[in-house]
Structure 1
Amino acid sequence: MKKEPFVTKTQLDEIVKEYPTPFHLYDEKGIRENVKALKEAFAWNKGYKEYFAVKATPNPYILNILKEYGCGCDCSSYTELLMSESVGQVGENIMFSSNDTPAEEFALADKLGAIINLDDITHIDFLEKTIGKIPETISCRYNPGGLFKISNSIMDNPGDAKYGMTTEQIFEAFKILKSKGAKEFGIHAFLASNTVTNEYYPTLARTLFEVAVKLQKETGVHIKFINLSGGVGIPYKPDQEPNDIKVIGEGVRKVYEEVLVPAGMGDVAIYTELGRFMLGPYGCLVTKAIHEKHTHKEYIGVDACAANLMRPAMYGAYHHITVVGKENEPCDHTYDVTGSLCENNDKFAIDRQLPKIDMGDLLVIHDTGAHGFSMGYNYNGRLRSAEVLLKEDGGTQLIRRAETPMDYFATFDCFPVYEELKKNTEEADKLGK
């Protein structure tokens, strides 16, 4: 089986004339079609809302596209809150889900009117001291502990996760929050990551819905929403079947009608905060082969590195690679595809079967639309790449310029040497041109 890039060789040959490699490219058409499919899958729930996980693809142009379809923002930091505000997302269009949270982040979330999702029972007093009150609408993150298993393939270990409250704690938290003036409550949980199965959300939903019924009955609170969080994944490998969001939505609906409706809780809104599912397949890293090395193994060196896409180096994650223009040629060469960092794990692929790669060939590294650019860093002084939007009409738009050396040096301006660095950088730029 093959993965087809969403961009053709003809298109890429033109795009690279304007934007030098490496860069992340996003498919506007695919993003829009996907968010419409998600909304359709959960249209049965009157209060449904998707809070896009900003950490996955923190770009205001992307946030604005999703905003057109009624999506809110799931934020976990001060700067993510600021970015969401910058595109007009305020109030209950923001879900603030963080952990080990500094006071100033709670303060900003409150100022923006965001729904605050508390990670721990001790955060109740911390929040109250920080903002001087408990908001009327509040949410708590739940962690049932133990193992979370779906069929024979997906297992995660919530008991080892740093997130969320125990069953006993969330019951106590709801009682305390109610006594302090909270009127509308939410429940949130994230129990497995990147699941490629239609069973995950319905299984998680049953766990949360059953807890919600007990919570409302025993504490007397009104549960306004249940947030299924993220975890719905994408098929990184060509032989994986993608999730069917329509089937997933229908599965959640059945559990909703089995558990919540008979308990008189048919008014509960369902929220999601998907990131990878929303953007992952609709982004790719475009890079160029610049070196080949024949030693104990066959290496292809590209002009991107782990600073542009950390997942393979950090997790050993698989990202499919297409050698543009050679899609129909036999994959009869075995390569390690590497970047230039001074780390041996800076490899996009190890022992990967690919067509013969010639210097100057463009490579598309698939499925980088979520947790790709956003996990970038500046080790070895490497600079973050540009982000480019492939528009529905086939044109392109630069939605984040590439970093320059002056961006890297900008935080040194408290030192006298800064002006010399600036001068040297400007001269180096002239030479480069």
Structure 2
Amino acid sequence: MYLHGTSSINAQGHLEIGGCDVTDLAKQYGTPLYIVDETLVRQRAREYVEAFRTSGLKFQVAYASKAFSTMAMCAIAEQEDMSLDVVSDGELYTALKAGFPAARIHFHGNNKTPDEINMALDANIGCFVVDNFIELQLLNALAGDKGKKVNVLLRVTPGVEAHTHDYISTGQQDSKFGFDVSNGAAFRAVQEAAGLANLELLGVHSHIGSQIFEVDGFQMAAGKVAQFAVNVRDELNVTFRVINLGGGFGIRYVEGDTPLPIATYVKAITDAIKSNFGEANYPLPEIWVEPGRSIVGDAGTTLYTIGTSKDIPGVRKYIAVDGGMTDNPRPALYESKYEAVIANRANQAADETVTVAGKCCESGDKLIIDCELSKPEVGDLLAVFCTGAYNYAMASNYNRIRRPSVVFVKDGQADLVVKRESLDDIVGNDVIPERMKRTSAAK
């Protein structure tokens, strides 16, 4: 069993995270429960910031809030000297309500609405990452209406595809995101943006994929972006001040995953920027990156209570937990893999292979297939590791199941940062039209 961060097994044989016994957390907050190791989150953030400081380049490390967005997480990002990237009015509103400095917020997205753009303009955010020609004109017009000139990066697809799941690869040519470099769209976008009065073109953004375990893709992307920058300088007399190479840095979910140390990724990126831009006699740009999963992914653990089971001789044994694809849709979406342990008997050796099923009305609601556990019993607590990224963020109310609460744990203290939804929350936005009420009364 691989334990992440501050996780350990105490004298009672219980899993502890952040100095908190998870059996106590289950009693206090119920299950399912998202538990976040605050110390590990802060450690990961500091590793990025310190690695870039060592490089000597100007930089911004922007936490990709799409991975896990709460007001408490925004507070940590600010305290750890990070910027923040958002992709919706909801993520922007969360950041602003948390008091995150608007000047350090970057707004992404391939279909920002006028209302979202106006909200961001009114907040005076630091930068828009523009994704297409329609947005270029819309942003310029809306900024002009408010008498503002705003910073922009142009998202480009450099033609680099990382080794990752097809559904989460975004840097290759066939992508819904950004201006393609190879077909000339990115060049035309620079030409157009440079001529718009209400936009200040800082540079370009690229993102090559997700859950990446090598540096080659980042180095290749840096080279292609540098080549593009030189071409733009020579042809259009436009010099980029900022290069954003996105995120996608991998984490360990299961045995066999081999992520590199954060400092290794950062050194590869900064060395590639220095080399490629230096050889072209190009002023070294400021470097931005956007880690999300690698900040919060392995800091998260989801705690469930085991309920029913079904043993199919010669096929498999199922155990069911009190959550499922509503709190973690990733196995159903991406065939994502996880490891788990019986949290109230974490010191006992695994002696049974089971498939962990959720409680949703879907045959595909399986959290872990062929999971090695100490013989699970009704009422046991199951801890599934590395659920900090894209679990709470993608949770739903399918089957009208309530979304779990979230607690941050640190130095033996647990703090509630998201309340568990109530049954009243589930129906809170429902409305029965008056005509239906009349029909009901007539019967």
TM-score by length of 2: 0.87
| 1:121 and 2:133 matched | yes
The Cα offsets for residues 359-394 of structure 1, whole Å up to 9 and x where unpaired, read as: 221111111111011100011110100000002x21
Give the one of 296, 312, 326 matched to 1:295.
Answer: 312
State the distance in 2 between where 1:307 and 1:281 align: 20
Q: Secondary structure at the match of 1:104?
A: helix
Structure 1 residue 70 corresponds to structure 2 residue 84? no
> What is the distance in 1 between the residues matched to 2:370 and 2:294?
28
Task: Give the partner amino acid of 2:154.
Answer: C
After the TM superposition, which residues 155-166 of structure 1 pair with which residues of structure 2 at under 5 Å, given as runs?
Answer: 158-166=172-180
Residue of structure 1 equivalent to 2:94: 83
In the TM superposition, what whole-angstrom CA distance separates every residue of 1:31-83 from its partner, at most 9, and x where no partner exists?
Answer: 11111111111112442111111111111101101111211110111111111
Specify the SS of the correspondent of 1:50: strand
Identity of aligned pairs, percent? 25
Give me the whole-angstrom Cα distance separating, in 2, the residues matched to 1:202 and 1:244.
16
Instruction: Evaluate the alpha carbon distance shift between residue 163 and residue 156 of structure 1 in structure 2; reply closer, same or farther with a 3 A threshold.
Output: closer
Within-5 A mapping of 1:75-224: 75-114=86-125, 115-132=127-144, 135-145=149-159, 148=161, 158-167=172-181, 168-181=184-197, 182-224=199-241
Deviation at 1:129, TM superposition (A): 3.1
Measure the CA separation in 2 of the matches of 1:58 and 1:149. Answer: 25
Say what the alpha-carbon RMSD is for the aligned residues. 2.5
Tell me the equivalent position of 1:429.
Answer: none
Aligned partners of 1:27 and 1:282 also within 8 Å: yes
Which runs of 5 or more residues in structure 1 are unaligned?
Answer: 420-433
Residue 36 of structure 2 is matched in structure 1 by: 26
Gaps of 5+ in 2: 438-443
| In 2: Cα distance, 1:209 partner to 1:304 partner | 47
Q: Distance in 2 between matches of 1:175 and 1:256?
A: 23
Q: Following TM superposition, by how much is the alpha carbon of 1:264 offset from its aligned partner in structure 2, in angstroms?
A: 4.2
Deviation at 1:155, TM superposition (A): 8.1
Mapping for residues 246-261 of structure 1, pairs under 5 Å: 246-261=263-278
Residues 239-278 of structure 1: CA distance to partner in whole angstroms, max 9, x if unpaired? 3223211111111222122112344444411111111011
Q: What do the CA deviations read for 1:312-336 (whole angstroms, capped 9, x no partner)?
A: 1221110111222444544331211
- Matched residue, 1:388: 407
What's the secondary structure of 2:273's corresponding residue?
helix
Q: How high is the TM-score relative to the length of structure 1?
A: 0.89
Whichever residue aligns with residue 73 of structure 1, its letter is L
* CA distance in 1: counterparts of 2:241 and 2:97, whole angstroms: 27
**Kept after mapping to 1: 8 A contact 2:163/2:212:** no
Instruction: Mark the CA change 1:17 to 1:311 in structure 2 (over 3 Å): closer, same or farther.
Output: same
Whichever residue aligns with residue 357 of structure 2, its letter is T
- CA distance in structure 2 between the aligned counterparts of 1:257 and 1:366, rounded to whole angstroms: 37
Which of 423, 439, 442 aligns to 1:405? It is 423
User: AA paired with 1:258?
Assistant: S
What SS class does the counterpart of residue 319 from structure 1 fall into?
coil
| Structure 1 position 90, deviation (Å) | 4.0
Contact 1:201 1:232 in 2 (8 A): no
Distance 1:346 1:353, change over 3 A: same
8 Å CA contact retained: 1:320, 1:366:
yes
Letter in 2 for 1:95: H
Q: 1:136 to 1:378 in 2, by over 3 A?
A: closer
Question: Which moves more between the two structures, 265-274 or 301-310?
Answer: 265-274
CA distance in 1, matches of 2:237, 2:204: 15
CA distance in 1, matches of 2:56, 2:229: 17
How far residue 413 of structure 1 moved from its aligned partner, in angstroms, is 4.5
Moved more, 237-246 or 398-407: 237-246
